[in-house]
Chains A and B, each alone.
Chain A
Amino acid sequence: MKPYLAQAKTEIKLALTQGESLLVTIGIPVIVLIGLSLTKALPLPSSAHSAADFLVPGTMTLAIMATGMVSTAIATGVERSYGVLKRLATTPLGRPALLLAKITSILVVEIIQLAVLAIIGILLGWHPTGNVVFFVISAVLATAGFAGIGLFMAGTMKSEVIIGAANGIYLILLFIGGIIMPISSLPGALEAFARLLPAAALSEALYHSAGIGGSVPLWAWLNLIIWAIAAPVLASKTFKWDQ
C-alpha cells in the first residue's frame, strides 16, 4: 500500500506539472469550449438546445482522450526509454501497483478536467439532462480504451515517434470524433469510419448522458466496450518494458 501511495502521488504530480501535457489535457479543451460556444463557427446537431449542450460533452470527450491516450502514451514512453520502468520492476512497487498508480493518476486528472469544463460550461449556458450513471460508465469505459491505446504506443514505439503519433491521433479525432461538430456533418464514408473509433462513441454517449438526455445508442455502447477490452489486451500482449 505504501509504495502504491508514493507512486500515485508522484504520477499525479508529474501529470499536473508538465506544461505540454497540461496544454493538451486542459488548455485545448477549454479554448475549444469557450471559442466555439461564443463564435458558433461550426455546425451543431439540430437536437442541441444550446451550443454548450453539445460542446461540453464534446470537450469532455477531448479531455478524456487527452489524458487517457496522449498523456499516458507520452509519459509512459519517456519512462520506458529512460529505463524508469525497468528500474521500478526491481523495487517493492512492482508492476501491478505501478499500473494501479497510473490509473489513479488518470482518474484524478480527469476529475479535475471534467470539473473545470463543467464550471465553464455552466457559465456558457450548459443545462444538461441525462443520466449520471451512464455518464460515469461511458467515461470509465472510454478511459480504459484510450489508456489501452496509449500504453500500446508507449510499449512498442520509440518516444519520438509516440509524441508525433499521439498528438496526430488527438488532432484527427478532434475533427472526426463528434467533439467540435457532429459526425453526421461528415461525408458518408468518413462518418461510418468515425463510428468505429472510440472518440465518436464517447462523445455520443456523453451527449446523451450529460447533454440533451435520451438513451445512449447501442452502437456507442458496443464500441466503448470493445475498445475497453481490446486495447488494454493488445497493450499488455505487446508491451516491452525496456528498450
Chain B
Amino acid sequence: MTTIEVNDLYIAYGEKIAVLGVSFQARSGEVLTILGPNGAGKTSTVESIEGYRKPSKGSIKVLGLDPYADLSKLAPFIGVMLQNGGIYPRMTPLQALGLFHGYYKDPQEIDYLIKLTNLGPALKTPYRRLSGGEKQRLSLALAIIGRPKVVFLDEPTAGIDPEGRLAVREVIRDLKSQGVCVLLTTHELDEAERLSDRIIILDHGKIVAEGSPEDLMTAAHGDNIRFSAPVGLDLAELASAMDAKVVEERAGEYLVSTAAVPEQIARLTSFLASRNIAIGDIRAGRSSLEDVFFALTGKEMEPEASFTDKPRSRRRR
C-alpha cells in the first residue's frame, strides 16, 4: 500500500528555491532514506510531508490525506522525531512520556518504551540536563508512542551515543515488521546502507539517484577496484600496467576501471609491491555508498552538516 505520495514538489523561500520538482512514493513496511549534502532540500521535503509547510507547487498525500490541510486528521497516525528539541526543557523523560501517552487513543506502554530506548537511568532528569544521546532516545520514544503508521526520523543518529544507535536500529526493525512506513533522513551513509530498503539521493533540490542500496552501489560505476595509497602515483604508468583507466578520485584515493577479478588485483598489488608503495585499503567489486554519493554530488558527507542545513528564516508557520 502506498503510504506517502509526493508529486512534483516545489518549495521556495522567497527567491530561493529549495526543492525543485521532487516526486517519489513510499509503501507501508518500507524504510525510505533521503540522503543529501548541505542545503540539498532534505529537511524542507520532509517537513512538507510532515505538514509543517505548504508546498509552493505540487502535491503530497500521506495515508491519502494532505498533510498541510488535514494535519489534525493525520496527526494521530504519524510519529515525528525532529532534528533537535521538541520537549519542554523542565520536563523529565517520565513526565514527557506520560504527557504524550495522554495524547493518543491506544498508546504504547511507557515501560516498554523505556526499556526499548534504555532511558531507565535518566527518567527523572530534566530534559535540558540530559545528554545528547538521551535526548535523541527520548525523542525517538515519543515518535513511536502513538503506534503510528508513518514515522519520520530526521537525522536520528546525529550526535547520538552507541546505545542510541542500537535503539534506532532496533526500533526501525520493529516498525518495519509491523508494516510501518519509515521516512529517514541521515548524513551517515553506513546507517543508510544498513537500515534502508530504498534510498533517494537529493542534490540541489532534485533527486539524482533512487534505488535500493545494492542497486545504487552496483549501478554507479559497475565493476572496479578502488584503493588508497600515497598521493600522486604515476597514473599513466599504473594505467599501462593494469591495461585500464586509472583516476585519482580524491587525494590518495584511486579508482581503477577494470573487472574486479583476482588476476587484475594481483597485477595491481604486484605493481605496488615492485615500487614499494604502501596500501591504505583496497576494495574490489561494487562501489560503496560513499563512492556513489561522491560521484553524484561531488561532495563528501559531513556529519556536522546536520546542524546547518535548514533554512532558518521565512518559515511559513
Contact = CB atoms under 8 A, between A and B. Distances in A.
Interface of A: 2-3, 5-7, 9-10, 14, 17-18, 78-79, 82-84, 86-87, 89-94, 240-243
A94 B71 CA distance: 8
Contact of A78 (B50, B84, B89): B89
B126 to A, nearest CB: 11
Contact of A82 (B52, B85, B104): B85
Given A6-B99, A92-B103, 10 more contacts: A2-B105, A5-B102, A6-B101, A10-B91, A10-B99, A82-B87, A84-B87, A89-B51, A90-B52, A91-B100
B85 A92 contact: no
B99 A92 contact: no
A67 to B, nearest CB: 18
A87 B103 contact: no
Interface stretch (B74-82, B230-238, B245-253): B74-82
A2 B104 CA distance: 8
A231 B90 CA distance: 28
B317 interface: yes
Contact of B317 (A84, A94, A240): A240
A240 B86 contact: no
Contacts of B86: 82-84, 86-87
A3 B78 contact: no
A87 B84 contact: no
Given A89-B71, A90-B71, A92-B76, A82 B89 contact: yes
B90 A3 contact: no
Nearest to A18: B90
A242 to B, nearest CB: 6
Contacts of A9: 102
Interface in B158-176: none
A83 B76 CA distance: 19
Nearest to A83: B85
B51 A87 contact: no
A6 B102 contact: yes
Given A6-B99, A6-B102, A87 B315 contact: no
A242 B78 contact: no
B55 interface: no
A14 B317 CA distance: 25
B76 to A, nearest CB: 5
Contact of B80 (A10, A90, A242): A90
B48 to A, nearest CB: 12
Contact of A90 (B50, B89, B104, B312): B50
A89 B88 contact: no
B156 interface: no
B240 interface: no
B308 interface: no
B93 interface: no
A82 B88 contact: yes
A243 B104 CA distance: 27
A41 B99 CA distance: 47
**Which 10 A-B pairs rank lowest in CB-CB distance, beginning with the nearest?**
A6-B102, A83-B85, A87-B86, A3-B103, A83-B86, A92-B76, A90-B80, A82-B85, A91-B103, A94-B72
A83 B72 CA distance: 18
Nearest to B76: A92
A2 B102 contact: yes
B87 A91 contact: no
A17 B126 CA distance: 13
User: Which of B51, B82, B86 has its CB near the most chain A CB atoms (within 10 A)?
Assistant: B86
A146 to B, nearest CB: 22
A92 B72 CA distance: 6
B146 interface: yes
A243 B87 CA distance: 15
A129 B244 CA distance: 101
A79 B88 CA distance: 6
